[in-house]
Each structure stands twice: as C-alpha cells, then as structure tokens.
Amino acid sequence: MAILEISNLGISFGGLRAVDDFNIKVKKGCLYGLIGPNGAGKTTVFNLLTGVYKPNEGIIKLDGQDITGKRTIDINHAGIARTFQNIRLFKDLSVADNVKAGLHNQMHYHTLEGILRLPRYRSVEKQLQEQALELLKVFDLDGEAETLAANLPYGKQRKLEIARALATKPKLLLLDEPAAGMNPNETLELMDTIKFVRDHFDMTIILIEHDMKLVSGICEELTVLNFGRVLCQGPTGSVLNNPEVIKAYLGE
C-alpha cells in the first residue's frame, strides 16, 4: 500500500519549469531515494511536499488524504516531518529542549497555565521531558540532554535534527542530504541510524542524497530527477545501472 502518492505535480518560477509532471508512489515502510544532479528539482519536491511551495498543478496524497497546497503546520500534523541540508536546530536551546519543541505538537496547555505554572503545566512539562529523554536514548544523545545544541559535534547535530523531526510522530520522514558534510565513519553510522529509525519507528523515509555509497547501501527504490522531470524510477540496483542515469547523473 502506498503511503505517498504524487500525481502530475508541477511548479514554475518566473517561467522556469522547476518540477514538471512528477509522479511517484512510495510504499509504507520503504526506504526511498530521490537523486539527481544539482538543480534537478529534488529539494523543490520536498518543499512542495511540506507546504513551503504551493504547486501549480498536481495532487499530493498522504495515506489517502489530499494534502495538496496545505500549510506547513497542517501537513506536519497530517504526518510529514523533514530535516534540511543545512542543519536548522535551535542552537541556543539544549538538546532536550530541541526535541521538546517537536513534542509540543502532541501536548497542549493554556497560555495562562504556563504563565502561572499551574499543576497541568508542570505535569505536561514533566511528560515532555521524559519523552524527550526516551527519544534521545535512541540516538545515544540522552547523556548530552542539557548540552547546548550548538556545542554538539556536527554528526550529532544531524542526529538531533532527525530526533526532533521524529518527535512530531510523523508517518513519513523526509531527509534532505543527511550525509552532507559528514566524514566516512559518520556516514556509515548514519546509514545504521536511518535503518534503525525505519525499523524501530515503523517509518517510511525518503531521502535526497549525493553519496552513492549511502544510497546504494540503504535505499530500496529510487527516483532520478533531471531538469525537473523523472528520468528513471525503480529498484535501486536497476536504476543505478541504467545507462541514462549513468550518463546524466554519474557523468560517465
């Protein structure tokens, strides 16, 4: 069963066709890769999926629900979360508080209860702290819960951004170049982390990535974009051996 279905998606900027007639079906629980040369439209697709841009045409369905053109916050509540190529943490907040920012989508109290620190506020905050620590344990970050996010090593900042995204309890997780800036050892550890997240959280994951070792090592299916259009789709092995993909993407 497809958790994500995109039909005939398209968007233009000033007459430039950034994404054109984009179609994709992603099965629940799949590790899916979206690859292509720089400027191919990959991040634009993510921005369309998360409401940063509104498409000129096409339909986006998440778990059967039409989310086309909805606001980013509504799409997040529907079940899509993402990370970014350039890490976007609250760097002046602690590691735990970054995760709690995501958890606040799940728990609510009145503003007055927070200002006066009434019992309900204290109860909710205690639950948030406990849940944040539980999630941080998954990424071996619980020992640094009170560390400022800005003071974490780069690889751990990447992990924290994924943890914060998971705190919103998504159905679909979008990772935009999660291995960017990582050394080979960090990339190998990231591969294990992504596989664990998929299995432990029963998560569907789509990632944009240029590291072909990571892509071939974890992605089960791929879509290749070139000039905003789908060049090739299918199982990872057959896609990476497609002569058109080798020519357009690998430059051979």
Using the 8-state DSSP alphabet, how is residue 178 labeled?
A: T
| CA-closest candidate to residue 228, choices 25, 56, 5, 4 | 56
CATH of the domain at 23: 3.40.50.300
The SS3 assignment for 85 reads: coil
192 and 75 together in one domain: yes
15 and 48 together in one domain: yes
Among residues 153, 185, 201, which one ends one of the domains? Answer: 153
Into how many domains does the chain fold? 2
| CA-closest candidate to residue 139, choices 110, 118, 165, 114 | 165
Instruction: Retrieve residue 5's tokens.
Output: 């279905």
Full residue range of the structural domain in which residue 177 is found: 2-79+170-248
Give yes or no for a contact between 115 and 178, defined as CB atoms under 8 angstroms apart.
Answer: no
Please indicate, yes or no, if residue 161 is contained in any of the structural domains: no
CA 239-221-189 angle, to 5 degrees, is 110
138 and 205 together in one domain: no
Using the 8-state DSSP alphabet, how is residue 55 labeled?
A: -
113 and 181 together in one domain: no
| Residues 189-220 pLDDT 10s | 889 999 999 999 999 999 999 888 899 999 99
Please indicate, yes or no, if residue 97 is contained in any of the structural domains: yes
14 and 130 together in one domain: no
Q: Is 170 left (phi over 0), alpha (psi -120 to 50) or beta?
A: beta
Which pTM value belongs to this model? 0.89
Please indicate, yes or no, if residue 165 is contained in any of the structural domains: no
| Residues 93-144 pLDDT 10s | 999 999 998 887 665 554 544 445 556 556 667 788 888 999 999 899 999 9
